[in-house]
Amino acid sequence: MTSCDLQLFGLSETRGFLPHSDPLLCLPDTFSAWERVGHNLPKYLAGLSLRKAVDALPTFKTDALKTEAEVHRAMVILSFIGHAYVFGEKPVVDRIPAVLARPWHEVATKLGRPPVLSYASYALDNWQRIDPNGPIAMGNVALAQNFLAGIDEEWFVIVHVDIEARAAQALKAIAAGRRAVESSDEGALVAALTEMASSLDGMYGALCRMVEHCDPFVYFHRVRPYIHGWKNNPSLPNGLVYEGVKEYGEAGQFFRGETGAQSGIIPCLDGFLGVGHADDPLKAYLMEMRLYMPQQHRKFLEATEGGPSTRGFVAARTANTALEKVYNECVEWVEKFRTKHLEYAVSYIASQAQRDLSNPSQIGTGGTPFVKYLTKHRDETGQHRVP
């Protein structure tokens, strides 16, 4: 085995970063009141009554969570309710009650992540198959939990789930590619990179389908407002107070919002292919995003960045034109993926009319000047082709 083999990190060769089993759709009866609020979240938000409903909820007993699947489901429910509480009614509030804050913090601590809605709870642990025997793919996947509901919100997340499923092939190729480099097996590396290119082709195709059912205007005004965080958020200059959480006291906390930068896919591809980013605030942001990833994903990402250099191995074997060609093809696919993401960022966010501070059009949900970041990452990727 190599240090990048998926089994070492509890990852699936067929599902990648998605859970081995489909996510749990409902917690035990002990949590029925919380599940009821989650299930009716769109109705509470439409009726502007979510905060009142949360304030009246019974204690969420985190010690009653018995399985890993239950912990992940709890994080989904608490994160959606938490963000709905902050952003679902006007004005935006800068503190959440102890009945919500305490269990959210406790569950997040179990998972090694901050108590905020992150990509793992928004996408990786938040889906179900319509046909349980069918594929994990658009057309057979629906959300387990949402904010307002509607096809635009569903489709936005479903596309990400589809991409994650397709990325499993690329993650498996990383392990095979690492073995090939370590054993100086050029043929095996060509085969691994060919698999990676095929996976990236599928991922890009899935990303291109975003426009089919997710309208830019609806996304910006109906989907995006709920996934912001409390760091660099102009509507929460003092962060968010988690009442009753002794570790925080009464100090406002500053956590990033949900963003695709919290997925391990592209960073892992960067790490394996040797695509580097300049040591500046943008790179510091990418490193910060790892704190919001599941712990095992984080460790796998670190492993892909260790060991011998794939790019160096390829560059030293320029006589092998097949190896150089397929390596550059993978780099170009990553660049192409980033280009499409940048196009969406402009049309879905930067080009939309900002109505209030809580949903800024020039700052990403992760609290960054996203157009500048995404452009830089795309350009740096293209610079890593082997001449």
Coil, helix or strand at residue 3? coil
CA distance 126 to 15: 14
The string of pLDDT tens digits covering residues 186-210 is 999 999 999 999 999 999 999 999 9
Strand (E) or helix (H) holding 119? helix 119-119
135-163 exposure pattern, b = at least 16 Cβ within 10 A, e = fewer = ebebebbebbbbbbbeebbbbbbbbbbbb
- CA-nearest of 5, 282, 292 to 171 is 5
The string of pLDDT tens digits covering residues 87-103 is 999 999 999 999 999 99
Predicted confidence at residue 137, as pLDDT, reads: 98
Domain range 6-382, CATH architecture: Up-down Bundle (1.20)
- CA-nearest of 20, 37, 129 to 74 is 37
Q: Are 9 and 295 in contact (CB under 8 A)?
A: no
Predicted confidence at residue 280, as pLDDT, reads: 72
**What is the pTM for the complete model shown?**
0.94
Predicted confidence at residue 319, as pLDDT, reads: 82
Predicted confidence at residue 277, as pLDDT, reads: 80
Predicted confidence at residue 2, as pLDDT, reads: 63
| Pairing state between β 141-143 and 127-129 | antiparallel
* DSSP H helix total and E strand total for the chain: 15, 4
Predicted confidence at residue 207, as pLDDT, reads: 98
Predicted confidence at residue 376, as pLDDT, reads: 77
Residue 286, C-beta contacts closer than 8 angstroms, at least 6 positions apart:
261, 267, 277
Torsion of CA 362, 364, 368, 371, to 10 degrees: -60
Kindly give the parts of the chain with pLDDT less than 70: 1-2, 353, 360-370
Across-strand partners of 129?
Answer: 141
